[in-house]
A and B are shown apart, each in its own frame.
Chain A
Amino acid sequence: MIAKLKIKRKTGYKIYEAVCSENSTVAGLLDIINLEESDPVEWECSCRQNMCGSCAMLINKRPSLACSAFVRNTGTDITLEPLSKFPLIKDLKVDRSIIHRLFEKMKVYIDENTIPNFDDTERQYLSASCLQCGCCMEVCPNYTGEDLFGGAMLMNGIFKTISQENSKKHLKELSGIYAKTQFGICTKALSCAEVCPVKLPQASTFSRLNAISLKNLL
């Protein structure tokens, strides 16, 4: 069968065709297109197996990873656009360095050596599995990129740190910034859980995080 791809490029939408099967992925189709294309479509990719978050883009308007978006789900009419909430670099490639900056501004790091906390190990493992791909930020009704609110991606990072930090001082500081910049802003629309490529249990992580951070503020 033939897939018809409509790709948003610097100069506007361009239509491509590529031979595909039900099991073809959008990443595989982009490779085929770029082999022939004299001005290759720019897109980010690294692991090509749903583990690194590089290839996040809008696939038929839904934020997804190109390496795990299959023709059997997308159908053969496929529209590709860059994520819209990050500055465009070229074609499907965007600059997601705001993710690193948000982590820095929120001081999401461990100040004093961690002592393993066995109650939350499972959830810490999951939070550390966040790909930082930006799909959740793209669909979040509250993420605008204009303030410190970073959506599910940032909240997973904060959860891991708050549940591991040993320094009382840094815990209080972290919990304080968290309460001010994330806690009250997140409206629990939970579209983040719907689009997450690694299916993180967002709702229960937020509620656990809210509970721990409130306790730290008392």
Chain B
Amino acid sequence: MKILIIGCGLAGLSAAITAAKASNSVTVISPFPPERSQSVLAAGGINAALNTKGENDSFLQHCEDTMKAGCFIADEKAVLNLTKNAPEIISDLEHYGTVFSRDENGFPDMRYFGGQKKKRTVFSKAGIGKQLVSGLSGELRRYCCEGKINLITNCKFVKCIITNGVYRGVIAENTADGNLSYMPSDALIVACGGPGGLFGKTTGSSTSDGFAAASLFVSGVKMANLEMVQFHPTAIETAQKRMLISEAARGEGGRLFTIKDGKRWYFMEDWYGKNGNLMPRDIVSQCIYKVCVLMKSGINGQKFVGLDLTHLGEDVVHNRLKEITDTCMLYLGIDPAKDYIPVYPAVHYFMGGIYVDRCHRASIPGIYAAGECSCMYHGANRLGGNSTLSAIYGGKTAVINANADFENLEKNRISKSDSNAEKMAHEEIEALTKLTEASVSDKRSESPSWLIQDIQIAMNLYLGIIRTPESLNEGMRILSEMYLRKPVFRKCHVSDALGAINMQQLGKAFFESALARRESRGAHMRSDYPDTDDEHYKKTSVSSYKDGQIEVHFEEIGRLFCDSEA
């Protein structure tokens, strides 16, 4: 079976290794090698109920915590599979040479993390992502050496070819010379990361541009729960990005405050009691928003509050919270043992994404998706330590199911055979090349980044922490008008030009989904519908695109796109 994988972060690496083990013919395309992926930024850890701390932990408890954090709109059967398989994933990772921090018995050490009752987060100091990528990319390399995996870097997904409702192959761009080519395969595994590019400055990587997901959406691949965008409560603003200040800061006793009537006001403690600073991510973000925006009480009237660590003493701040100290010293010139850290929430993770069933099948036969680009496992809010786990488990599960589906896919392909797929791909390539033909001297010509920036401004202004009907409608209006602008692009990468066009549609789908879910749940907070409405909305929101129109409806949770399950 010929498998094509987009992306080489944790989900892509895991998919590639699983496919090589299954003796598939595997090609991985990515603009960059694994070391540049957003996965290396993961700080906290990876969750697995190893139960080595004498706390009577179990995968059932892990599942329960994940479901609860996700406000019960994740597919429970899928989550159960995830948590049941987590210990085996940790053991595989150890075999690949991943370096975990160890406890006194030699087991991978585990720490407490927000929203979980047990010590369940396996960690590598404060750099789990880098260690996981190092382990998995070593294993990938073994298969590359054996000729079982073909890793093509400097290669970017542009568009997929679908005929008669069946996936056939992809058009990819060589990012060095700009050439486009057609790559057919039996199945496509999308592991392209979350669409951070919609918002611009997030805590993530600028390579998570969202272009691949946006292109798939416009090609007819459905999206789910797009309105569920996680804001991490404590990020610092720098000229180049928003950087995460880990939950560990509050775990060690950090206190959030603002200045009111010339005095410090510890609003979280005032509103939620002594442990108020450690409330879940969605609640802390909403409170900081309330202080800074609704009450206009940010420090010096600005849009930030203070995170105070000074009372913890230099030893704790400089040693146990070393990474935080380093980031603040390097990027803000602030020593958190002496001064407070100015923080404000920032877009951190997309719980929603490509609509997949628990076998990771997307809505079009032959396409699978895993990792942050997919809608799996996290429902309305994600627990720390579950993103790394779900990416690795998701990539593996997608490939196992693609193999199980192979016969069906073959039958489907033959009964709906289409010798024109290749011809169509070449026509597409010709059309795509024309997208970027306008010359610099053409006054109407634009750079894709200008358009993307306009989209980002609209997303940040109107799809924030608390959503009002006015803001959502205004966001919709701006993106719709932008679409009518029919841009002409000057010489640039085809993937960027197409990305700029498709991102308007994906952005609109975010607003449509947020408008359609008339309730508040997890990360989705509506000013006009402040309560959770299980009767109507304990469901999956599904967005689809057809002929320029976006449609959103709600489906029962746990739908399968095909009856079988591997």
For the complex, what is the distance from the CA of A48 to the CA of B244, rounded to whole Å? 12
Residue B327 CB within 8 A of the other chain: yes
**Contact A53-B35, Cβ < 8 Å, known A45-B206, A100-B151, A114-B95:** yes
23 A–B contacts from the bound complex (CB under 8 Å) = A25-B238, A28-B239, A31-B239, A39-B440, A45-B207, A46-B205, A47-B40, A49-B41, A49-B327, A52-B35, A52-B36, A96-B33, A100-B144, A100-B151, A110-B142, A118-B102, A121-B99, A125-B124, A125-B131, A128-B135, A129-B130, A160-B97, A164-B97
How far, in angstroms, from A156 to B299 measured CA to CA in the complex? 46
B residues less than 8 Å from A49 (CB atoms)? 41, 241, 243, 327, 331
Interface residue ranges of B423-456 to A (CB < 8 Å): 440, 447, 449, 453
Minimum CB–CB distance for B535 against chain A, Å:
43
In the complex formed, the residue of B with least CB distance to A68 is B330
Complex contact B40–A52 (CB within 8 A) = yes
In the bound complex, do residue B449 and residue A54 qualify as a contact, i.e. CB atoms below 8 Å apart? no
| Stretch binding the partner chain, chosen from A101-109, A188-196, A203-211 | A101-109
Q: Which residues of A contact B (CB under 8 A)?
A: 22-25, 27-28, 31, 34-35, 38-40, 44-54, 67-68, 89, 95-97, 99-100, 103-104, 107-111, 113-114, 116, 118, 121, 124-125, 128-129, 131-132, 160-161, 164
B102 contact set on A, CB distance < 8 A: 116, 118, 121
Chain A residue nearest in CB terms to B241: A48
Instruction: Say whether B32 contacts A131, CB under 8 Å.
Output: no
Given A50-B330, A97-B153, A118-B102, is A107 in contact with B131 using a C-beta cutoff of 8 Å?
no
Cβ-defined partner of B106 (8 Å) among A45, A53, A110, A118? A118
Question: Any chain A CB within 8 A of the CB of B490?
Answer: yes
- Kindly identify which residue among B124, B127, B141 contacts A103, using a CB–CB cutoff of 8 Å: B141
Which residues of B have CB within 8 Å of A28?
A: 238-240
Check A46–B38 contact: CB distance below 8 A.
Answer: yes
Report whether B97 and A110 are in contact in the complex, using a CB–CB cutoff of 8 Å.
Answer: yes
Most buried by A among B106, B141, B154: B141
Whether A111 contacts B106 by the Cβ 8 Å rule is no
B184 to chain A, nearest CB (A): 24
B residues contacting A by CB (< 8 A) are 32-33, 35-38, 40-41, 94-97, 99, 102, 106, 124-125, 127, 130-131, 134-135, 138-139, 141-142, 144-145, 151, 153-154, 175-176, 205-207, 238-241, 243, 327, 330-333, 440, 447, 449, 453, 490
Smallest CB gap from B203: residue in A: A49
Which interface residue of A22, A40, A89, A116 has the most chain B CB atoms within 10 A?
Answer: A116
Looking at chain A's contact residues, is the secondary structure mostly helix, strand, loop, or mixed? Answer: loop
Which single member of B134, B176, B327 contacts A89 (CB below 8 Å)? B176
Across the interface, name the chain B residue whose C-beta is closest to A50.
Answer: B330
How far is B326's CA from A68's CA once the two chains are assembled, in angstroms? Answer: 12
When the two chains form their complex, are residues A110 and B96 in contact, meaning their CB atoms are under 8 A apart?
Answer: yes
Shortest beta-carbon distance, B90 to chain A, in Å? 12
Q: A28-B240, A95-B176, A128-B130 are in contact. Are A53 and B447 (CB under 8 A)?
A: no
A122 nearest CB neighbor, chain B only: B99
Query: Are B125 and A125 neighbours in the complex by a CB distance under 8 Å?
Result: yes
B211 CB to nearest A CB, Å: 15
In angstroms, Cα B239 to Cα A51, docked, is: 17
Report yes or no: B331 in contact with A109, Cβ–Cβ below 8 A: no
State whether A128 touches B131 (Cβ < 8 A).
yes
Cα–Cα, bound, A125→B132 (Å): 11
What residues of B have a CB within 8 angstroms of the CB of A68 in the complex?
A: 330
Residues of A within 8 A of B106 (CB): 116, 118
Cβ A100 vs Cβ B206 within 8 A: no
Asked if A161 meets B138 with Cβ closer than 8 Å, knowing A110-B97, A114-B97, A118-B106, the reply is yes
A115 to chain B: closest CB distance in Å?
A: 9
Complex Cα spacing A137 to B192, Å: 30
When the two chains form their complex, are residues B205 and A52 in contact, meaning their CB atoms are under 8 A apart? yes
A47 to B135, CA, bound (A): 20
- Contacting pair A104 B144 (CB below 8 A): yes
Query: Which residues does chain B contribute within 8 Å of A110, judged by CB atoms?
Result: 95-97, 138-139, 142
Please tell me if the beta carbons of A47 and B240 are within 8 angstroms of each other in the complex: no
A47-B40, A99-B33, A160-B97 as given contacts; A38 in contact with B239, CB under 8 Å: no
Q: Is the CB of A125 within 8 A of B99?
A: yes
Q: Which residues of chain A have C-beta atoms less than 8 A from B96's C-beta?
A: 110, 114
Q: CB-CB < 8 A to B130: which residues of A?
A: 51, 128-129
Closest to A53 in B: B35
Residues on the A chain within 8 Å of B449, using CB? 34-35, 40
Contact B440–A38 (Cβ < 8 Å): yes
Residues of B within 8 A of A161 (CB): 97, 138
Whose C-beta in chain A lies nearest to the C-beta of B208? A46
Closest to B141 in A: A109
Chain B residues contacting A164 (CB-CB under 8 Å) are 97
Question: Within the assembled complex, what's the spacing in Å between the Cα atoms of A68 and B176?
Answer: 25
Q: With A25-B240, A31-B240, A116-B106 as given contacts, are A51 and B141 in contact (CB-CB < 8 Å)?
A: no
Nearest-neighbor residue (CB-CB) of A96 within chain B:
B33
CA distance A148 to B559 in the complex (A): 52
Task: Report the minimum CB–CB distance from B25 to chain A (whole Å).
Answer: 18
- Taking a contact as CB atoms under 8 Å apart, the answer to whether B142 and A111 are in contact is yes
Say whether, besides A45-B206, A114-B95, A51 and B41 are in contact (CB < 8 Å): yes
Q: How far does the Cβ of A85 sit from chain B's closest Cβ, in whole Å?
A: 17
Interchain CA distance A109-B95 in the complex, whole Å:
11
How far does the alpha carbon of A214 sit from the alpha carbon of B97 in the complex, in Å? Answer: 22
B141 touches A47 (CB 8 A): no
Not counting A110-B142, A113-B95, a sample of 17 additional A-B residue pairs whose C-beta atoms are within 8 angstroms of each other reads A27-B240, A28-B239, A31-B239, A35-B453, A46-B205, A47-B206, A48-B205, A49-B331, A50-B330, A52-B35, A95-B154, A100-B141, A109-B139, A114-B94, A125-B131, A128-B135, A129-B130
